[in-house]
Amino acid sequence: MTYIAEANRYEAMDYRRCGNSGLKLSAFSLGLWHNFGYANSFENARNLLRTAFDHGITHFDLANNYGPPYGSAETNFGRLLDLDFQPYRDELIISTKAGYDMWEGPYGNWGSKKYLTASLDQSLKRMKLDYVDIFYHHRPDPETPLEETISALDLMVRQGKALYIGISNYRPAEAAEAFKILKYLGTPCLIHQPKYSMFERWVEDGLLDLLEQEGVGCIPFSPLAQGLLTDKYLQGIPSDSRVATSGKFLNESHITPEKIEKLTKLNVLANQRGQKLAHMALSWLLKDQRVTSVLIGSSKPEQIVDSIMALQNTEFCEEEIGIIDHILT
């Protein structure tokens, strides 16, 4: 059956300007890190993308090595573009990244111009695209000169393979230097993608201020700390949870009595606000206007719909902020 997007898809979603650019992003973006590779159900992936777009999510975030296996999320996404989303291509923001291991040998990792150029070419072929909207360097390279990495990003824009460029996992000093080089080259950085949640707040130590000063957007990933910032683990570890079934990025060692105590207190406050804990954790990020969009993952369509409910209450009074800060310290 031919997919026809919901006619009112833009009505309930908020759209925020990305830094000083002309681009707006949906308040929530869908990450394809998990659940979109060959190891996963293609029809479920299709339903996830349809549900996201039908609810106003216009930004789909990928990387070269998303799967498993590596590259398969992009290949499946390319198939879904053909099947469902070609008529809507100009309504979509499609991003991909390179910086982690992708293929064997010295040219399949980190931040050389050789790697970044080859990786984006491969990504475009897998997704059957002429260009991506955003191309990120996924992490700083401690050995390659930053000038080489950043000039490669500039080159991608000049070649028409990317409209905008971004960086991810860069600390404030590294980001500041990258922005300086990009300004000199004439291709300003659009966006920074850091790991940021109630349990991971390093971006507050200078990065958010830097992004505001430089006019760069911010899109946090892992906003729920891999599912920890939900009510899922308050009564133990469910058999179908990520901890029980995978344990790679979130395992039992993370579910400490101290964490459970904090989660319990946060859950009480969330309930007082008329929210689930997960909703409050997402709202807490979106309360800051320097945050352009929050990157969510999902294994079920209903989880996407549920996450969007966080937009119903993104206001926090000073007392609530104080309570949260006290719980988390």
CATH code of residue 72: 3.20.20.100
Q: What would the mean pLDDT of 221-232 be, rounded to a whole number?
A: 93
pLDDT band at 255 (very low <50, low <70, confident <90, very high): confident
Are the C-beta atoms of 302 and 50 separated by less than 8 Å?
A: no
In the predicted structure, residue 319 carries a pLDDT above the cut 50: yes
Q: Is position 172 within any domain? A: yes
In the predicted structure, residue 241 carries a pLDDT above the cut 80: no
Radius of gyration of the chain (CA): 19
By residue range, what is the domain housing residue 212?
A: 15-227+278-314
Of the candidates 327, 293, 320, 319, the one whose C-alpha atom is nearest the C-alpha of residue 28 is 293
Q: Is position 195 within any domain? A: yes
pLDDT tens digits, 83-131: 999 999 999 999 999 999 999 999 999 999 999 999 999 999 999 999 9
pLDDT band at 72 (very low <50, low <70, confident <90, very high): very high
Q: Is position 309 within any domain? A: yes
pLDDT band at 296 (very low <50, low <70, confident <90, very high): very high
Q: Is position 113 within any domain? A: yes
| pLDDT of res. 244 | 45
Instruction: Please tell me what DSSP assigns to residue 317.
Output: -
pTM of the complete model beyond 0.85? yes
Least confident of 5-14, 70-79, 109-118, 240-249: 240-249
**Number of domains the chain is built from:** 1
Q: What would the mean pLDDT of 36-43 be, rounded to a whole number?
A: 98
Question: 78: buried, middle or exposed (CB in 10 Å: 19+, 13-18, 0-12)?
Answer: middle
In the predicted structure, residue 214 carries a pLDDT above the cut 70: yes
Question: 30: buried, middle or exposed (CB in 10 Å: 19+, 13-18, 0-12)?
Answer: buried
Q: Is position 295 within any domain? A: yes
**Mean pLDDT computed over every residue of the chain:** 95
In the predicted structure, residue 249 carries a pLDDT above the cut 70: no
Q: How far apart are CA 325 and CA 329, in angstroms?
A: 6
| pLDDT of res. 314 | 96
| pLDDT of res. 252 | 64
User: For residue 158, what are the contacts with CB-CB under 8 A and spacing of at least 6?
Assistant: 187
**Dihedral angle at the C-alpha atoms of 126, 127, 133, 139, nearest 10 degrees?**
-40
Q: What would the mean pLDDT of 167-180 be, rounded to a whole number?
A: 98
| pLDDT of res. 114 | 98
Where are the extended beta strands (E) located within 27-161? 28-31, 59-61, 93-98, 132-137
| pLDDT of res. 234 | 85
Q: Cα 90 to chain center, whole Å?
A: 20
Q: Is position 3 within any domain? A: no
In the predicted structure, residue 251 carries a pLDDT above the cut 90: no
Where are the extended beta strands (E) located within the chain? 15-17, 24-26, 28-31, 59-61, 93-98, 132-137, 162-168, 191-193, 217-218, 294-296
pLDDT band at 257 (very low <50, low <70, confident <90, very high): confident
Compute the Cα dihedral for 3, 6, 7, 9 and give only its sign.
negative
Q: Is position 233 within any domain? A: no
Q: Is position 271 within any domain? A: no
Q: 244 versus 277: which is more confidently predicted?
A: 277
pLDDT tens digits, 300-314: 999 999 999 999 999
Q: Which residue has the tokens 């490669």?
A: 152
Q: How far apart are CA 277 and CA 255, in angstroms?
A: 16
Q: What would the mean pLDDT of 153-168 be, rounded to a whole number?
A: 98
Q: What would the mean pLDDT of 231-242 be, rounded to a whole number?
A: 67
| pLDDT of res. 233 | 81
In the predicted structure, residue 34 carries a pLDDT above the cut 90: yes
Q: 227 versus 269: which is more confidently predicted?
A: 269
| pLDDT of res. 153 | 98
* Three-state DSSP class for residue 95: strand
Are the C-beta atoms of 23 and 17 separated by less than 8 Å?
A: yes
